Structure 1
Amino acid sequence: MQASPQFGKLRKTYRSFTFPMSVAFFIWYIAYVLTATYFPEQMGQPFLGLNVGLWLGLAQFLTTFLITYIYVVYANKNIEPQAAEIREEMEG
C-alpha cells in the first residue's frame, strides 16, 4: 500500500501543509527568542498594560492554537477523506 499512488497523494497532501506551517512557526518562535535575547529593552517597553515581551509571548500561545485549529480543518477536509479511502481499500 505504501507504494500506491493513493498513499503517495495522501503523503503529499499531509506534507504540503505540515512542513511549511512547521517552518513558519519555528521561524516565529526563533524570532521571539532572539528578540528577547538581543533586544531586552524593546521587549520591556510597556504596551496596553503589559510589556511587549509578554504580548509576544501570549501571541506564541495564540498562534499555536490557531495553527492547531487550521490543521484540524485542513485535515478533516483534505487528509481524512483520503485516509478513509485507503483504509476502506485495505480492509476490503
Structure 2
Amino acid sequence: MTTELTPDEPTTASPEPLDRYVAVQQSAEFGELRHRLRRFIFPTTIAFFAWYALYVLLSAYARDFMSIKIIGNINVALVFGLLQFVSTFLIAWYYARYAARKLDPMADSIRADMESGEVA
C-alpha cells in the first residue's frame, strides 16, 4: 500500500539543513575563508602558468639558448624542464603549509559552528 501526498501535506524531509548550508555560505567567516583561498590560488596559478609558458616558448623559439651546455650533456632546456617538477612540488608543499596555518583552522571553526547549530 502506497501513500500519496497531496501538495498541501508536509513532507518528512526538513529544509533546515539546507538553510544551515546557505547561512554558512552567506556568513562573513565563509567569505573570509574563500577570500584567503583565492588570494593564494589565483596568483600562484598565474605565476606557475607564466613559468611554464616561458619554458615552452623558450623551447620553441630560443633553441640556441636552450641548447647551451652547462655541465657535460646537461643543457639549459634540461635544467628548466627539471625545474618544472621542482616548482610543482614547492607549490604543493607551500600550499599545504598555507592551508594548515590559514585555511584549515578557519574551516574547522566554521564546521564546528555549523554542527553545533550556532550559524543562523
Whether TM exceeds 0.5 here: the answer is: yes
Match of 1:44 in 2: 67
Q: Any residues of structure 2 matched to 1:10-49 within 5 Å, and which?
A: 10-49=33-72
Q: Find the structure with the greater CA-based Rg.
A: 2
Share of identical aligned residues, percent? 45
Give the Cα separation in 2 of the matches to 1:83 and 1:5: 12
Q: In the alignment, is residue 5 of structure 1 matched against residue 10 of structure 2?
A: no
Q: In the alignment, is residue 55 of structure 1 matched against residue 79 of structure 2?
A: yes
Gaps of 5+ in 2: 1-23
- Relative to the length of structure 1, the TM-score reads 0.97
Count of residue correspondences: 92
SS in 1 for 2:25: coil
Task: Give the root-mean-square deviation of aligned CA atoms.
Answer: 0.7
How far residue 68 of structure 1 moved from its aligned partner, in angstroms, is 0.6
Give the Cα separation in 1 of the matches to 2:101 and 2:43: 18
Match of 1:78 in 2: 102
Give the Cα separation in 1 of the matches to 2:58 and 2:82: 15
Runs (4+) off by over 3 Å? none
